[in-house]
Amino acid sequence: MNIFDRMMSLDRRWVFLFVALVCVITYLIPFSIKINITPEVKSIYDHVESLKAGDYILLAIDYDPNALAELHPMTYAIAEQAFRKELKVIFVTLSQNGPGMADQAIRDISDSLRLEKTYNGITYPARQLINGKDYVFLGYKPYPALVILGMGQNFRLPFPSDYYGTPLDSIPMMKGVLNYDQIKCVIDFAAGNVADMWISYGQGRYNFPLALGMTGVMGADYYPYLNSGQVFGLMGGLLGAAQYESLADNPGPAIDGMRIQLYAHIVIILFILMGNIGFLVTRRKKQV
Amino acid sequence: MKRQIPLLLVLVFGIFMIFQYFVPHESSEWIYEFFLDWIYIIGIFALALGIWSLIRVSYDKIKYKKPNWQYAVITLAGLFAMILFGFDYGRHFFSAEGLSNYMFRAFFDYILIPIQATMFSLLAFFIASAAYRAFRARSLLATLLLVSALVVMLRFNPYFGPIGPYLEQTASWLLNVPNLAAKRAIIIGIGLGMVATALKVILGIERAYLGKD
């Protein structure tokens, strides 16, 4: 077996070893990389920025812990931006393990808001988040399509009470909030086909502004909806989350993770190129 | 009769649900809400059935010491522990206070999240290995796929200097033109297929869901 044969049939454990080494080394060495912003991410940031204090937005936490690395940073960045702007946030989840994700995000964001912080040159005072006044967490219900349709008629249909058991009618923030008509935008963080349901049954029927945050592998599938105007923004994977953190001037795990992802990608590309060089040279030799 | 009644039910309810979707009348909404409740009730039974099935399968594994029976013990322990914590050790059966139970949250935050996140992160290694072996320039189409993948992966690489913006533009074109055209065709195809299948079910042409009897 010559060197070119070896280049195209390397034991996969070498690939695992190099990817692992690069991930560990880049994690340990502190450095930063430039994050370029795409229009589809910026449009979400601009939309949230354009809202006034007291406006309502709905954040759908439709992912499980397996997509946490990519989607949690998006949730954190957008929710913190919304709370700093004093928007009213309605959380809902249509994913089985979503309640735990949303609950964790709310707790962490509440902690972060207790500190005075400066984003994009504006200093926001510390504040205490109050459940029922600043946000409502509706919880989880199965059958996403039905829940999305039900909320279009009345939030109280699928969710007579919130996650903590308080009837929606006795929550101050929900007074006068009947359905999507009172919501300025819905942002769905999805790691599955729930995003399709938000587009078909939610935006398609009730015509509210919808933006999507999704895992990297799903991103390309949703460009048709962006192009048709059915969604006004799209964040794909860690890159999308890093762009949002960059726009919000709130560096977090996504920007931190991008340097690791960048070098892991470079290693994968080098392996692909190496395999192809071996393949092309071997094929040429056979033809000769 | 055994088949006619279910077929008639599907026909009536199928047509009603289509009708209901386009008629936002109060009575139509009331009936829709009524059906919605029924779907949740059926779902709860399915959940109970699932839990019962899990307990039975796990119990049999432990009882007859089947291969890897030890995992069944952990499955059952996890199931009952989460139920116990979720109900706050039986103190809150009918309210949601158990969801704030310290152990319930700790099990989720420190066991479930790391387990699922670890499983998913392992994908990076398998994708790297699969990409190395599968992305070969064997033909023109395979080469196009390979080049497109490389461009999209490298689009935001800050080390390309003046080539960077061109890579970004090319990646954007790939996503917004060829990808979009292919995806639209697939989406429209799936949509038409779904309408055709739904009509076949409603009109009783497609009866596979009824079973063989």
- The 10s digit of each residue's pLDDT in A117-153 is 999 998 999 999 999 999 999 999 888 998 998 899 8
The answer to the question of residue B171 being in a domain is yes
The predicted structure's pLDDT at residue B212: 66
* Lowest-pLDDT choice from A107-111, A273-277, B24-28, B107-111: B24-28
Residue B60 and residue B2 share a domain? yes
Residues of A numbered 14-43 whose beta carbons fall under 8 angstroms of chain B's beta carbons: which are they?
A: 15-16, 19-20, 23, 33-36, 38
Prediction pTM value: 0.87
Give the structural domain span for B175.
Answer: 136-202
**Do residues B61 and B75 share a domain?**
no
In a domain, A220, yes or no: yes
Residues of chain A with Cβ-Cβ distance to B184 below 8 Å are 224
Rounded CA-CA distance A132/B211 in Å is: 48
pLDDT digits (tens, 9 = 90+) for B147-204: 998 898 887 777 777 888 888 889 889 988 998 899 899 989 999 999 999 999 999 9
Contact flag B128-A271 (C-beta cutoff 8 Å): yes
In a domain, B170, yes or no: yes
**Token reading at A40:** 């589809």
B117 and B148, same structural domain? no
What was the pLDDT predicted at B30? 83
Q: How many domains does chain A have?
A: 1
Domain of A212? 37-256
Co-location of B144 and B172 in the same domain: yes
Q: Is A260 on the interface with B (CB under 8 A)?
A: no
Residue A19 lies inside a defined structural domain of this protein = no
Q: Is there a domain that residue A267 lies in?
A: no
Indicate if B53 and B98 belong to the same structural domain: no
- Asked if the structure places residue A15 within a domain, the reply is no
Q: How many domains does chain B have?
A: 3
**Is A187 domain-assigned?**
yes
Residues 216-255 of A with CB under 8 A from B: 220-221, 223-224, 227, 239
Whole-number pLDDT of residue B89: 86
A-facing residues of B in 81-110 (CB < 8 A) are: 95-97, 99-100, 105, 108-109
Which stretches within A51-143 are classed as H helix?
68-84, 98-113
Q: Which residues of B touch A137 (CB under 8 A)?
A: none
Interchain contact, B132 vs A64, CB within 8 Å: no
pLDDT in tens, B118-131: 988 898 899 999 99
Do B58 and B44 belong together in one domain? Answer: yes
At B186 the pLDDT is: 93
Q: Domain for residue B129, yes or no?
A: no
Of residues B158, B175, B132, the one with CA closest to residue A218: B175
B111/B157 same-domain check: no
Q: Who's near A164: CB < 8 A, 6+ residues apart?
A: A131, A137, B96, B97, B99, B100
> Domain of A101: which CATH number?
3.40.50
